[in-house]
Structure 1
Amino acid sequence: MTTLIIVLLVLWAVFAVVGFVVEGLLWLAFIGLILLAATAAWGWIKRRTNRS
């Protein structure tokens, strides 16, 4: 599960960088940042619940 979360975080970060580099794909950067934050939050919550 942790591997999946790390892969998704890297993928969303790449999308965000590509979106900022290519001006026509600025929407991709925003979607990448939103998905990055959502995946990080989800992974953090899952990790906290597994420790309890």
Structure 2
Amino acid sequence: MLRYAVIFFIIALVAALFGFGGIAAGATEIAKILFFVFIVIAVITFVLNLIQRK
């Protein structure tokens, strides 16, 4: 999921470079959402692993 966030971020950078503001904004929002979903899943996994080890 982090990979897709990075891909959408790169798409946003390229779109902004060529002047496609709407596409860049959309790709940036998708990248943000995917990044935060990745962070939430990573934290949940970390916490569940800590609970399981006890």
**Identity, % of aligned pairs?**
9
Gaps of 5+ in 2: 48-54
Structure-2-length-normalised TM-score: 0.74
Q: By how many angstroms is 1:21 displaced? A: 1.0
Which residue is equivalent to 1:18? 14
Gaps of 5+ in 1: none
Matched residues in 1 for 2:37 and 2:3: separation?
A: 14
Matched residues in 2 for 1:51 and 1:13: separation?
A: 26
Q: Which has the larger radius of gyration?
A: 2
Which residue is equivalent to 2:41? 46
Task: Describe the superposition over 1:17-51 as per-residue Cα deviations: whole angstroms up to 9, x where unpaired.
Answer: 1221111x211110111011101100000011111
Q: CA RMSD in A?
A: 1.1
Matched residues in 2 for 1:46 and 1:6: separation?
A: 11
Query: Does 2:5 correspond to 1:9?
Result: yes
Which residue is equivalent to 1:27? 22
